[in-house]
Amino acid sequence: MNRNFRNQPSDFFKICYTYKPCLDALQISTIYILNKVPKQFPEMRFFSRKLIKPEDLNAHGTLFGGSVLAWIDEEAAIYVICQLGKGNIATKFMSEIDFVSSAKLGDIIEIGMQTVAFGKTSITVRCEVRHKFTQKPIIRIDKIVFVHLDDESKPTPHGISEPANE
């Protein structure tokens, strides 16, 4: 058995090793990860669809990244406002944007959102844009963080720990 578990608490390793000596490192890692899964929120939900029009294309005749990012930001903001049950939010951060494939004129795409976490003043969502009919992903963004703001545009607690609206 591999006993190199530097990233896991030593008491966890002792429990697994003492009571389940037949487990290998992969099984122990899997158990550790499964026991550390954060609170689960609803799965990815696809709320809006877009028809790709000529004004949405780049010089190569495929979907312009700037257009789809504007749609994502708008859709994510609407989603977050619905989850919090209140407005006054601002986009704070977007993680790496993974352009997986593209779309062309006449394609129908759909934009999906999923709640990832609630912070004291923030909410984090993930996004996937995909082809409506083939379900082939176009763009994935693992983390979009929005912050709830007061009347003076300063971060303020939203007091929400679960989605207000599904």
pLDDT digit string, tens, across residues 122-135: 999 999 999 999 99
162: enclosing H helix or E strand = none
pLDDT of residue 160: 86
pLDDT of residue 55: 97
**CATH class of residue range 45-148:** alpha beta
Between CA 141 and CA 69 the distance in angstroms is 10
Strand partners for 117? 124
% of the chain exceeding 70 in pLDDT: 73
pLDDT of residue 41: 53
Between CA 40 and CA 61 the distance in angstroms is 39
Contact 125, 119 (CB under 8 A): no
DSSP 104: B
Question: Closest Cα partner for 53 from 14, 5, 107?
Answer: 107
Contact 84, 12 (CB under 8 A): no
Between CA 159 and CA 136 the distance in angstroms is 37
Predicted TM-score (pTM) above 0.85: no
Residue written as tokens 């190569």?
Answer: 60
pLDDT of residue 165: 60
Contact 34, 57 (CB under 8 A): no
Between CA 68 and CA 52 the distance in angstroms is 10
Domain limits, the chain: 1-37, 45-148
pLDDT of residue 28: 38
pLDDT of residue 6: 44
Between CA 23 and CA 4 the distance in angstroms is 14
pLDDT of residue 85: 87
pLDDT of residue 3: 45
pLDDT digit string, tens, across residues 3-19: 444 444 433 333 333 33
- Residue ranges of the chain with pLDDT lower than 50? 1-39
pLDDT of residue 43: 82
